[in-house]
Structure 1
């Protein structure tokens, strides 16, 4: 690696020349005027609340995972147990045992986003520690065995019988492949994507990063299908054929009042998913969902802006139709309160992620 390559391998330059690592504000700042034009069209700054009437705030911010999971048919989501704080780790373990959940498990905050506060729980001590360090209500979920994960964006006009898939992102988990010589840490330091998340990976794995993997042995270092946790997002929208669309449409129409959002799904294979088999919905995201296929490294920031605006227009259209059907927008005070609440949740989530 020459001197120029070494310079470009530094996190600052990786971030500078790859927009997918830019901050949320940086990505969205230039297109905020479009959002305000849509607000004018709906005559409300908080029109999105009417998009998914059965989800708090339409799923834009501060929605409760506990409330959302109750409207998803149980056969489509993993077994989950919810807990309120303060919680006793031993009581949590007892309730998990009663529910028949076995390790490994996944701990998640009841209100969250971008993978913050999500942790793999491998044993009883992990559960006790997670419960003790929880700053907000949380849930513990069975670890879905399927190895593949995708985010499928779904949109349905309330006046139409069928919906459509507007984007698919395939999630490639952050991993390293051993060479029998270098430690996991050294391998991660050679990878530009891994380098951007090295701090959190050190917190997760600790001294395990000093291990040397045998040649050709692959290790997933971040098992979360989240861009903020290192996953590579690949645009797979071309897979949205008629068969897959019918499957997803059939599922989403069983979720009352759901017209706009993204399903995060773990599944065995694309063939099985297209057949409606061997999959599990691990997350339903509403009005605040991003069309995350934009984060494919092949796409430019201009493609991202186009897709974000396209989905904003769809969100606005759905919200206005539902508003005419009697579903209300948020009032000014309610909207401001929502953003204040979201700021407080974000502070707690950061504390749970440390």
Structure 2
């Protein structure tokens, strides 16, 4: 990495390793572990989701909790399934190209890919040494992450933050290649190696003036998406709408919903949107990664949300939910590490 990018990483905390960013949360976690007498108390936060959604949860199992009208058609594909079988499954379910393929157990956007052709699908299946999902491509252009919290003893939840996602979209000037345009922005230059593997010589293509191209059509920070704090769009009507939606998702109390939608006005009224996915106890309040926010602001929001996680888990435990035992938790953590090492090879 060149000196310019190294300096950019140092001076922009959104790129710092999470082990550093989460420093105050570690002490908070140890305090709550002492209070609950459990290192894995968060397992009780969302009782119907494996491990509360902290690690090794199946996305497909979470989708099955959501009423069908709120998310795109999604199919689980076993890693042993042949390409011909997958093609037949796609046809039977009326899913057309393009669609999204992603691991059933996710890891910060790793191995999420837009599949345009049979050739692209073949390439994906050859590399995917894990069960994965095929999901209809969502037609809406706007995407947010909406963090929702509801204490189990309350009838109304609240939205604690909204992040908007600015995709890696380039606009041409008729003179410079895609690669040259990428080099103008450190956020995009960080992605150059990955994009070169995916697009190859296409990066040398010169876009005509005002021609746009979306190189990463899914909103992951680690894939070049810029996160912008849109929490000012939280309204009583929006909270009412999502309380109604989340009340239909059995056992969901804490997490971030990634949503694609048409407009905020329609979203407020529960129209023209689809839930891309729901993340549980492992969720981050990703609005903190807005470049305009300080590290101090990020720490405040992280500790605030971690307190919600503790309160919800503790209450659910009183209502009969269980904490993972230390032995069970360590076993799950080992599985997570093994899967982490597998998916990073994709």
Deviation by residue 1:38-74 (Cα, 9 ceiling, x = unmatched):
1112221110000000000000111001211111100
The aligned runs of 1:85-234 (5 Å cut-off) are 85-234=79-228
Offset of 1:8 from its aligned partner? 9.3
What value does the CA root-mean-square deviation take over the aligned residues? 1.3
Offset of 1:31 from its aligned partner? 3.3
Ranges in structure 1 where 5+ consecutive residues have no aligned partner: 1-6
How many Å separate the matches in 2 of 1:187 and 1:9?
19
Deviation by residue 1:68-106 (Cα, 9 ceiling, x = unmatched):
111110000100111112120111011001000001010
Aligned to 1:3: none
Matched, 1:320 2:321: no
| More deviation, 175-184/256-265 | 175-184
3-state SS in 2 of match to 1:351: coil
Offset of 1:199 from its aligned partner? 1.1
Q: Which runs of 4+ in 1 moved over 6 A?
A: none
Give the total of aligned pairs.
346
Q: 1:272 aligns with which of 251, 260, 266?
A: 266
Offset of 1:132 from its aligned partner? 2.1
How many Å separate the matches in 1 of 2:133 and 2:315?
34
3-state SS in 1 of match to 2:344: helix
How many Å separate the matches in 1 of 2:189 and 2:126?
30
Offset of 1:113 from its aligned partner? 2.2
TM-score for both structures, normalised by structure 2: 0.98
Q: CA 1:87–1:132 in structure 2 vs 1: closer, same or farther (change >3 Å)?
A: farther
Matched, 1:46 2:40: yes
Matched, 1:332 2:326: yes
Ranges in structure 2 where 5+ consecutive residues have no aligned partner: none
Deviation by residue 1:266-324 (Cα, 9 ceiling, x = unmatched):
11111111111111001100000000000000001111111000000000000000000
TM-score for both structures, normalised by structure 1: 0.96
Matched, 1:18 2:1: no
Deviation by residue 1:14-59 (Cα, 9 ceiling, x = unmatched):
1000010111112113431111111112221110000000000000
3-state SS in 2 of match to 1:288: coil
